Amino acid sequence: MHQELMYIDGEWSPSTTGRWREVRNPSTGNVIAEVADGGAQDADRAVAAARRAFDHGPWPRLRPEQRRDTLLRLAEALSARTDIFIRLVTEDAGCPVRLTEMMQVGTPIGQLQDFAEQALLLRPTGNTIDHAPTFGISEVHREPIGVCVGFTPYNFPLFMNIWKLAPAVAMGNTVVLKPSPLTPRAAGELARACEEAGFPPGVVNIVHGDIEVGERLVEHPDVNKISFTGSTAVGKLVMAKAADTVKRVTLELGGKSPSIMLPDADAEMVVRGTLFGSMVHAGQGCVCTTRMLVPSARYDEVVDLLRERASVIQVGPADDYASDIGPVISRAQLEKIEAFVASALEEGAKILVGGRRVEGLGGGYYYEPTVLVDVRNDMRVAQEEIFGPVLSVIRYDTVADAVAIANDSIYGLGAVVWGTNVRAARDVAARISAGTVWVNDFGAVSSKGPFGGFKQSGIGRELSAEAALEYTEPKHIYTVLDQELEQRPYGLVGMEWE
């Protein structure tokens, strides 16, 4: 039985609690590893290591080019471990191996090169200011914040750990990562790659655990910034607890992304794109297109096509290349999905496809790709995040109605607009309250474009220079270049007036 340890101050260790937590493969339900189940004392150890490394270590004082080069070495070390990461993510998260290879592993490793170049953002910028009667130089310096904590979810374990780690260390900070206890092993392998790349002890720390560890990290007075990805409910608690010490906070939270089919859209493209967006990784993505908005005049046409396309989606073990979608993460999540579908039926929705557990696949946690029709936007299934392979189809009469329905949500993370008239589709996209709006596509994420949400989908952004700068404190330094006291507004203080 593999045991995943803590990585603190450059050393591997079990938790101070002596406890271990089981890690299960959601494709089989079998225990595949144990992870150290930490407590508050382990959180303290990790923060203390990160604090020492920031206050006294070399990392924050390196030249930006040196930090960039270390991150580039990390990219090489991760690339050499591609096969290991594919196996770990497939086993731990239950993500189908085809998707894991294409997106879960290859994409974030590729993005590391862009993260590395962000280190150069710390070069100061300045302007000469002629502020008569004096003149000088006004400079903006960016300095690292300090100790940054990253909370990462179970669904994209390598992706999210890189997104938290790379911009923070590129800006000269030190980091404590707390991965999900359901999918901890990718973070451990990431730490091994950091060792190989040459990060000094204490710059990167991995502490495992659940609520006790999380609460202590959020409340710890020596932590300067929290970056949390997870549910909106937990994000609100993080924000409240971080307020006591006025920590900087980035929150990437829930979503209920609409997929808006305009009247002139290609039905085949919309159906395929929306099904992919809603069912990818068994619907376990905050940006999944879980609401499909269809013009009333084309509703029957689209429903028939949805029935045909959704019925052939292949459900199976994550390590099977034939599987389109794999299991959900746990039995508890499976039961949560069942409760959502039951509530939709009670409120008047109908099942077009799916709506049940998948039998005959052993002890894994499988749910059929499910399409619900006759859904109203005020139903619970259309308002709350499910995190399962469930698509709600909602009809609308006018484009103005579609925009209103799309925006009638506490969330604003992502959205898709489909239409053959690209100008009209872009006009609709501009009216959607969401951090990312795709036009005639779903899921393209660039490391050069900010990712995050409006409303209760979060605060701050991941990716891009904009996100990297959230790991810095701006400092304005104004230097007057002349030495004429009489020219200063205080130069005549105490002088005798004639």
User: Is residue 270 located within the same domain as residue 399?
Assistant: yes
pLDDT tens track for 269-309: 999 999 999 999 999 999 999 999 999 999 999 999 999 99
User: Is residue 309 located within the same domain as residue 413?
Assistant: yes
pLDDT of residue 479: 85
Assess if residue 492 is contained within a domain: no
User: Is residue 468 located within the same domain as residue 321?
Assistant: no
Assess if residue 490 is contained within a domain: no
Assess if residue 368 is contained within a domain: yes
Q: What is the CATH number of the domain that holds 331?
A: 3.40.309.10
Catalytically active residues are 252, 286
User: Is residue 331 located within the same domain as residue 296?
Assistant: yes
Assess if residue 450 is contained within a domain: no
Assess if residue 163 is contained within a domain: yes
pLDDT band, very low/low/confident/very high, at 422 (cuts 50, 70, 90): very high
Q: Are 249 and 459 in contact (CB under 8 A)?
A: yes
Question: The tokens of 211 are what?
Answer: 């609520």
pLDDT of residue 133: 57
Which segments of 62-156 are extended strands (E)?
125-131, 134-144, 147-151
* Owning domain of residue 213: 2-253+457-477
pLDDT over 80 (residue 31): yes
Q: What is the CATH number of the domain that holds 109?
A: 3.40.605.10
User: What pTM did the predictor assign?
Assistant: 0.94
pLDDT of residue 130: 56
Mean pLDDT value across residues 46-57: 98
User: Is residue 185 located within the same domain as residue 204?
Assistant: yes
pLDDT tens track for 57-90: 999 999 999 999 999 999 999 999 999 999 999 9
User: Is residue 245 located within the same domain as residue 134?
Assistant: yes
User: Is residue 325 located within the same domain as residue 241?
Assistant: no
Dihedrals φ, ψ of 433, to 5°?
-85, 85
Assess if residue 32 is contained within a domain: yes
User: Is residue 225 located within the same domain as residue 90?
Assistant: yes
pLDDT > 70: what percent of the chain?
A: 96
pLDDT over 80 (residue 476): yes
pLDDT of residue 492: 60
Query: Which of 194, 203, 66, 70 has its CA nearest to residue 148?
Result: 203
pLDDT band, very low/low/confident/very high, at 44 (cuts 50, 70, 90): very high
Q: What is the average pLDDT value for the chain, to the nearest integer?
A: 94
Dihedrals φ, ψ of 109, to 5°?
-65, -40
Mean pLDDT value across residues 237-255: 97
pLDDT band, very low/low/confident/very high, at 477 (cuts 50, 70, 90): confident
* CB atoms inside a 10 Å sphere around CB 471: 27
pLDDT tens track for 144-195: 999 999 999 999 999 999 999 999 999 999 999 999 999 999 999 999 999 9
pLDDT band, very low/low/confident/very high, at 431 (cuts 50, 70, 90): very high
| Distance separating alpha carbons of residues 328 and 366, to the nearest angstrom | 6
pLDDT of residue 497: 52
Assess if residue 125 is contained within a domain: yes
pLDDT tens track for 209-242: 999 999 999 999 999 999 999 999 999 999 999 9
pLDDT tens track for 306-364: 999 999 999 999 999 999 999 999 999 999 999 999 999 999 999 999 999 998 898 99
User: Is residue 341 located within the same domain as residue 427?
Assistant: yes
> Which residue has 């979503």 as its token pair?
255
| Distance separating alpha carbons of residues 276 and 418, to the nearest angstrom | 14
User: Is residue 44 located within the same domain as residue 127?
Assistant: yes
pLDDT over 90 (residue 140): no
From residue 68, give the alpha-carbon distance in Å to each of 26, 33, 75, 86, 190.
37, 34, 11, 26, 17
Assess if residue 491 is contained within a domain: no
pLDDT of residue 327: 98
| Distance separating alpha carbons of residues 49 and 225, to the nearest angstrom | 16
User: Is residue 69 located within the same domain as residue 124?
Assistant: yes
Task: Locate all alpha helices (DSSP H) within 145-257, ordered by sequence.
Answer: 157-170, 185-197, 211-219, 232-242
**Into how many domains does the chain fold?**
2
- Lowest mean pLDDT across 195-209, 371-385, 477-491: 477-491
pLDDT of residue 496: 60
Question: The tokens of 296 are what?
Answer: 């009333």
DSSP 8-state code for residue 358 = P
Query: Which of 134, 138, 113 has its CA nearest to residue 124?
Result: 138
User: Is residue 280 located within the same domain as residue 242?
Assistant: no
pLDDT over 70 (residue 126): no
